[in-house]
Amino acid sequence: MARVYTETVDLELDVADRERLNSMPHDHVISARVDLSRRYAFVQAVKIEEAGFTIEPEGTSGAALVTESDTFTLALNTAEPRRHDAQVVLSGVLRGGTDLEAELLRCVARLRILGLHKKHLPAEFYKETAVEARAFAADGRTKQALFAYVTAIDGLINHALRDLTMYEELREPVNRLKLMDKFQLVLKRAVQRDVLRDEPLVSRLASVLEALLEERNCIAHSIARTQATRQQVRQAVFVLLTLMMIRAQGSVAVPALTTAYALKPARTSRTSSG
């Protein structure tokens, strides 16, 4: 759902101690904030592929991108995403400088971005919610990540039944179904079978989803103090991706799914004997 993009951006360097900029030689801590929010909904991860500067006297342009000159050395080596704001903070070190050269310093960076571009927003809103959940998880906001992932599962289930709710005669009966009943209906329609109770994967998905829904309700309604775990987030990802695979393959058979997506069997824990 997230994609990889390359962006070339001009940087406005912020020097931590500008008064020392003219004292040579010194290592000056620098940073630059890049706002990508006009083009990106989320920025998941960023890598600096290239960063440098040009010294452009007045009236000239097109100088080559370099990382050092007779008086400047630039090293931008850290890129920290502000995922939900679609911003990136770059930081590094600038050595040397004079007033004139500092004013003429034009810094450029080429960034490799894993994110969700607004021109590629998915038609299925649950996919955007899943990307948001991943951003929460990457920021260590486990409770928000769990809530968003379970909401994405909810959205996927309702999206899968949208062709039924378009009919007036079916809209109210389908909408009145509990989410777990909708979940079963989605699976039955995917595999074109009415009875799935003997399928191990279906039983596991149902058990995990019921527990996740209970946890989401506790979070949403402040029923009790909750402490979401990364294991619960992984379980939510498992349910979401497995539902997507079942719908795509029309099968709830584990061998068929593992073959179709080149998945490795889950590891079984070993217990020591003796």
Token pair of 48, please?
Answer: 């600096």
The residue with greater pLDDT, 266 or 177, is 177
Domain 125-259 CATH class label: mainly alpha
Q: How far apart are CA 185 and CA 156, in angstroms?
A: 13
What confidence score (pLDDT) does residue 134 get? 92
Query: Which one is predicted more confidently, 245 or 95?
Result: 245
Provide the pLDDT for residue 20. Answer: 55
By C-alpha distance, which of 215, 85, 44, 239 is closest to 144? Answer: 215
> Could you state, in order of their start, the residue ranges of all structural domains in the chain?
3-120, 125-259
Segment 1-17, tens digit of pLDDT: 678 999 988 888 777 66
| Share of residues in the chain with pLDDT > 70 (%) | 83
pTM above threshold 0.75:
yes
The residue type of 190 is A
Name all contacts of 17-26 with Cβ < 8 Å and 24+ positions apart: 21/97, 21/99, 21/102, 22/97, 22/98, 22/99, 22/102, 24/71, 24/96, 24/97, 24/98, 25/95, 25/96, 26/95, 26/96
* Mean pLDDT value across the chain: 84
SS3 71: coil
Q: Which strand (E) or helix (H) includes residue 231?
A: helix 230-249
Instruction: List, for residues 77-119, the tens digit of each pLDDT value.
Output: 899 999 989 999 999 888 775 544 555 567 888 899 999 999 9
- 246 vs 235: CA distance, rounded Å: 16
Instruction: State the virtual CA torsion across 245, 251, 256, 257 in degrees, nearest 10.
Output: 20
Of 38, 36, 20, 40, nearest to 28 (Cα)? 20
pLDDT score at 264 = 74
